[in-house]
Amino acid sequence: MENQFEESDDIICTACPMGCHTVVRRENSSYHVRGAQCPRGERYVKVEATDPRRVVATTVKVRNGSIRRLPVKTSLPFPRDRMRELVHSLSALEVSAPVRRGETIKRNLLGEKVDLVATRDVSVQ
Amino acid sequence: MPRKLRADVVVIGGGPAGMAAALGAKEGGAKDVFLLERGNELGGILNQCIHPGFGVQLFREELTGPEYAGVFTERLSSSGVEVMTSTLVCEVKKDGRVKAVNRSGVWEFVARSVVMAMGCRERTRDMLRIPGTRPAGVLTAGLVQYLVNVEGLLPGREVVILGSGDIGLIVARRLELEGVHVKAVVEIRDSLSGLVRNYVQCLLDFDIPIFFSHTVTGIQGEGRVEAVEISRVDEDWRPVSATAYWMECDALLLSVGLIPENELSRRMGIPLYPESGGPYIDENGATELPNIYACGNVSSVFDLVDYVSMVSERTGRAAASTAARRPVAFTLERGEGVGMVVPQRIRERGEGDIFFRPARSVRDGSVQFRMGEKIIFENTMPVCRPSEMVRIPSKKVSWPGETGKVRVEIHGEPIRGI
Ligand SMILES: Cc1cc2nc3c(=O)[nH]c(=O)nc-3n(C[C@H](O)[C@H](O)[C@H](O)COP(=O)(O)OP(=O)(O)OC[C@H]3O[C@@H](n4cnc5c(N)ncnc54)[C@H](O)[C@@H]3O)c2cc1C
Ligand code: SF4
């Protein structure tokens, strides 16, 4: 069979402030990184090319709390390409005070096995 | 009649700087420590910074702003510091008298030491002089961050952001997640002002274009912003009129820098360092006035809250001490490639940290501290960017026996674009 390969666009490594410009090339099932200046960056860029994820931070509505919006974040990095969908899906979510920092607000977001956690305390108004 | 209170240390401002300073003062042995905050809770700017990116240096963990603030609020609650929120300081006198107001009236503190930790505010359109009409919809990026994250309000549907600093980038992502279209980021420099990581995660992730060497030269709209005029600039940042075009939008966000909040200091007559806009300070945050200290963004704008906490705790400890200050041994000045240096005074060799901000982005950088022709510190840095303050522990510098002026310089290959 002929050799199958694919090359990514420029991926900027953000694992350190150097910000190396890299390209990931897939040949059959192995990946080669060009432009990374260290092994840590190489690992980072491979993940970025295959399964990019981000911790997503947003807010949700709070009922009878001392503040109107509760800041929340995903418990783990969440698939990058579903971030908008995630935030949109939370627009109707409402929680009631009191809330504790670190409390789980919603489990298994969009079936991705990542939870939503509160990032601050909210007392009852 | 104002109520009078005697204090060892009064800290003005309950952001990360003030919280760490108050804790430091307690640890340094001060008995009566007051922390005065005008807002209704502690945390300062951290409360609106809901994104992760805080605490990596201090806790080896990426916290969000509210989480970082929460850690310090908890420490304070068991520290014995008297915290007064919803309390605005309106006057500080050289002799340590601090006047404040809150719901229960006017308070006068008579403090042995005063620590100023009032943070900074954003530069506005008036300071930039953009011509055009004066419609609604021109807002600073930090204000928008507050409106979106704390109040749950959106500034518009189609926005343009002027300036590529980190606040603007982070707000761009936040708006996109909320369904607002960020049409462009316009940057007058030929390179990014913010962190590369924020460029990737806030702009690239959302396909937001950035125009380098461009600026906003006009604003149009009756009542509400309808369009902004964008022009290319030449090497001296002068707009080239033939390149101007209009981009439709209903909001323009300004992310064009922060200035330390120094009304109180100015009225007190404290000398201010023009490059940072804050008071001249030494390695302990001592200003030129005895018993008056400054830390955090009021002394100069920091990009990492971890550094703010570190220096502020030191400042709190120094403010608690009753020992006489030593004379100034060295003055630090910015040299080639450096935007500003903090502290600007060194009294004790090898104590604390020295921070400075690169004036432009360079690769293969070399950092030097010079006294005349003599080099007292040298280090190489693969990259230096204006978005990242450089920190050098003072103990790494070969301070000579004699005293004098030290110039901080950065040399290297300029970086364009990202
Ligand atoms: C939008 C934004 C995003 C940031 N993102 C990051 C990041 O991702 N990672 C990171 O490490 N750092 C980040 N930073 C930087 C970091 O948050 C700041 O350096 C830090 O918050 C500065 O702390 P501070 O206490 O000096 O100022 P502030 O947090 O501004 O606190 C000052 C406090 O003083 C109070 N005050 C002012 N005047 C008075 C008065 N007269 N009387 C009583 N109280 C008064 C104010 O109400 C405020 O609470 C960000 C900063 C901003 C603005
Ligand atoms: S490849 Fe290595 S050196 Fe380059 S940015 Fe990534 S982590 Fe830093």
Name the minimum distance, in Å, from the CA of A2 to any CA of chain B. 33
Q: Are residues B264 and B316 in the same domain?
A: yes
Q: Are residues B144 and B159 in the same domain?
A: yes
ipTM above 0.95, yes or no: no
Residue B91 lies in a domain: yes
Q: Are residues B309 and B381 in the same domain?
A: no
Residue B210 lies in a domain: yes
Taking alpha carbons only, the member of B162, B165, B176, B175 closest to residue B198 is B165
Residue B183 lies in a domain: yes
Q: Are residues B54 and B80 in the same domain?
A: yes
Vertex B141, ends B139 and B146: CA angle to 5°?
A: 95
Does residue A12 have its Cβ closer than 6 Å to ligand 2? no
Does residue B285 have its Cβ closer than 6 Å to ligand 1? no
- Residues 99-118 on A with a CB inside 8 Å of B are 101
Q: Are residues B7 and B73 in the same domain?
A: yes
Question: What domain count does chain B have?
Answer: 3
Residue B62 lies in a domain: yes
Q: Are residues B245 and B156 in the same domain?
A: yes
B280-298 core/surface letters (b: 16 or more CB in 10 A; e: else): bbbbbbbbbbebbbbbbbb
Q: Are residues B393 and B311 in the same domain?
A: no
Residue B229 lies in a domain: yes
C-alpha distances in Å from residue B89, one per residue of B114, B116, B260, B277, B309: 12, 10, 16, 20, 22
C-alpha distances in Å from residue B347, one per residue of B2, B96, B283, B315: 38, 22, 7, 14
HEC states along chain A?
Answer: CCCCEEECCCEECCCCCCCCEEEEEEECCEEEEECCCCHHHHHHHHHHHHCCEECCEEEEEEECECCCEEEEEECCCEEHHHHHHHHHHCCCCEEECCECCCCEEECCHHHCCCCEEECCCECEC
Contact list, B64 vs chain A (CB under 8 Å):
57, 71, 73, 119
Residue type, B308: V
Does residue A57 have its Cβ closer than 6 Å to ligand 2? no
Quote the domain boundaries for residue B173: 124-256
In 3-state terms, what secondary structure has residue B8?
Answer: strand
Q: Are residues B114 and B129 in the same domain?
A: no
Written as tens digits, the pLDDT of chain B (418 aa) is 679 999 999 999 999 999 999 999 999 999 999 999 999 999 999 999 999 999 998 999 999 999 999 999 999 999 999 999 999 999 999 999 999 999 999 999 999 999 999 999 998 866 667 888 888 999 999 999 999 999 999 999 999 999 999 999 999 999 999 999 999 999 999 989 899 999 999 999 999 999 999 999 999 999 999 999 999 999 999 999 999 999 999 999 999 888 888 889 989 989 898 888 899 999 999 999 989 999 999 999 998 999 999 999 999 999 999 888 999 999 999 999 999 999 999 999 999 999 999 998 899 999 999 999 999 999 999 989 888 999 999 999 999 999 999 999 999 999 888 8
Of all ligands present, the nearest one to the C-alpha of B41 is 1
Q: Are residues B198 and B283 in the same domain?
A: no
> Cα(A79) to centroid of ligand 2, in Å?
22
In B163-207 the beta strands, taken as DSSP E runs, fall at 181-186
Domain boundary among B325, B359, B377: B325
Ramachandran angles phi, psi of B269, nearest 5°: 85, 30
Residue B341 lies in a domain: no
Residue type, B78: S
Q: Are residues B90 and B105 in the same domain?
A: yes
Q: Are residues B356 and B319 in the same domain?
A: no
Residue B101 lies in a domain: yes
Does residue A120 have its Cβ closer than 6 Å to ligand 2? no
Among A17, A59, A68, beta carbon nearest to B50: A59
Q: Are residues B310 and B399 in the same domain?
A: no
This prediction has a pTM of 0.94
